[in-house]
Amino acid sequence: MRERSSGLCEICGLARADTMHHRLTRKYGPWDPTNIVHLCGDGTRGCHGRITNTRNEYYDRGWLIRTWDQRTPAEIPFLHHAWGSVYLDALGDYHHREPEGTTMTDLNIVLHLIEHAERWQIKDKRFTYLSCNGLGMTLTLPHGEVGLFHQWVRELGGRTIVARRDLNHPGQLEASGTLVSGNRVSVLVELDRRLLIDAKMLGRVELTRVEQMARELNPETVPA
The 3-state DSSP class for residue 142 equals: coil
Mean pLDDT of the chain: 83
**Tell me: the pLDDT tens digits for 35-82?**
999 999 987 889 999 888 767 778 888 899 988 888 889 888 898 888
Rounded Cα distance between 198 and 179, Å, is 31
> Which pLDDT value is given to residue 208?
92
The 3-state DSSP class for residue 22 equals: strand
Q: pLDDT band for position 207 (50/70/90)?
A: very high
Biggest CA–CA distance in the chain, Å, is 59
Could you tell me which residue, 41 or 99, shows the higher pLDDT? 41
> Which pLDDT value is given to residue 134?
55
> Which pLDDT value is given to residue 77?
86
Rounded Cα distance between 81 and 88, Å, is 14
Could you tell me which residue, 206 or 100, shows the higher pLDDT? 206
> Which pLDDT value is given to residue 97?
59
Q: Which residues pair with 20 in a beta bridge?
A: 38
Q: pLDDT band for position 168 (50/70/90)?
A: low
Residues 6+ apart with CB under 8 A from 23: 29, 35, 36, 37, 62, 63, 64, 65, 73, 76, 78
Of the candidates 134, 179, 174, 128, the one whose C-alpha atom is nearest the C-alpha of residue 156 is 179
Mean pLDDT, range 183-191, rounded to an integer: 87
Measured CA to CA in angstroms, residue 116 lies from 57, 142, 158, 173, 222 at distances of 35, 18, 15, 20, 18
DSSP state of 215: H
Sign of CA pseudo-dihedral 35, 36, 42, 45: negative
Percent of the chain with pLDDT over 90: 26
Rounded Cα distance between 36 and 41, Å, is 15
Rounded Cα distance between 152 and 188, Å, is 10
**Tell me: the pLDDT tens digits for 101-154?**
344 455 667 777 888 888 888 988 899 988 776 556 889 999 999 999 999 999
Rounded Cα distance between 97 and 130, Å, is 21
Q: pLDDT band for position 22 (50/70/90)?
A: very high
> Which pLDDT value is given to residue 10?
93
